[in-house]
Structure 1
Amino acid sequence: MNPVFNMDAATLSPVALFLQADIVVKVVMAGLLLASIWSWAIIVSLVVRLGRTRKGMARFERDFWKADDIDAFHKKEAEGDLPSTRVLAAGISEWRRSTAGTAIDKAGTRERLATAMGAAAAGEVDRLSDRLNVLATVASASPFVGLFGTVWGIMRSFTGIAQAQNSSLAVVAPGIAEALFATAIGLFAAIPALIAYNRFNHAIGRIEAALNRFADGFHATLSRQLDGAR
């Protein structure tokens, strides 16, 4: 066998590459692994949370449009943690304040209802999107952090060449392998985070659209009641 390629397979294992790496490259690898674990924790939690939210909102809206008494329905669902519940609560609260007086400003009431429910819907979307910035940061920064580790490792390999005065692949291959492993870990962290970020953005966009449709429908219901008020 050509001695240039006579490297023990164990030295190319992920654990061996990490243990043999320079301290700077080790810090880069460890940071990227932690970022990957953190992003996966967020991914799993958001999958569960958004799934429950979509199902809960579908059930909530189905029951709401079947309800004969909005106030009774609101009292029944008041303890819920759904975005639709908060939009409904914002609409009912503004309706009660705006219609409490003897003279009702119909145009002003309609505008305030739209503003209150729109603000509630936007707040719920912000709450659901709270940790997407972490995924975006991991997706965008991890490849560059891994590249930094790669550049540092290659510089270390060149230093080793100068010290050994030997440019054979057997001398430089371990350092280059360690360096490239940092880039691989960076991509390992970035790719799932990027895919998840895009999918969650799409899912939250659909939830936002559903919230706005519900707010518009409830606004129309209250507007019809307002037409009948004096």
Structure 2
Amino acid sequence: MSDKGKQAILCVDDEQDILDSLYDTFMDTYDVKTAINGVEALNILTESEIAVVISDQRMPIMTGAMLLQEVNKIKPRCKKVLLTGYSDIDAAVDAINKGAVNKYIHKPWDEHELIETVEHLIKMYNADEFMNKMIEDSKKIKTKIDKWKYQSDLLEQFIDSCQMGICVVDAMENIVMVNKPGLKLLKYDSIDAIKDKKVDTVFIIDSNKRQAFRELYEKGTFYQLLEVKQADGNTAGLQASLTYLTDEKGVKQLRGILFN
């Protein structure tokens, strides 16, 4: 989009009166840029975001078809209209067959047809840009997910490599993960059997004991005796440390338990 907030179209013709006519036709709706030959047009195209190029076929230096083929290489999503005389129909059809032109219109053109054509191509351009943005955003999201998964896998491998038991809980104090040493101490065969249980259903932490753990944690004293309910229904005492994290309201919430 230009500074005017309008989408830009580029009109190319070596006759100034034709450029003036095209400018007057579209000036109220679009940011109209003009060029008198293909070289000037390509310079504008590399510096600006152009949605539609309208080019005359018969021009010096390069024909309209040649110009639009170059446009297709530089800005493939840019839409292209070729203005032709009846004697240039073969060149227009050839350009269409090569994928360099979206539409050709005979000169002298019908103004209503030209306006409708540009409106349609603008919609096509916007749809292409939207789809491209969706694809690019999806790629970025996938990259972030892949990176997060890699880091998550590394963390899980590190936790599993620890000799002591580790239990990770979420903000609702549901068990998210228990490492292999922890599962062994709790006598569970797999994480599936304990995952999503409330932490208090496995680790017996009454309010007084929880407060004591929090005070010890803040003082830097980590271990205290804690009772746990094992998978076989027995209760066992283990040395444990409760880990707390401070939420956005400044409240310390339980996030993990280390035990052995």
Q: Is TM > 0.5 for Structure 1 vs Structure 2?
A: no
Q: Which has the larger radius of gyration?
A: 2
> Structure 1-normalised TM-score?
0.30
Q: Which has the higher strand share?
A: 2
Q: Say which structure, 1 or 2, has more relative contact order (CA 8 Å, 6+ apart).
A: 1
> Structure 2-normalised TM-score?
0.27
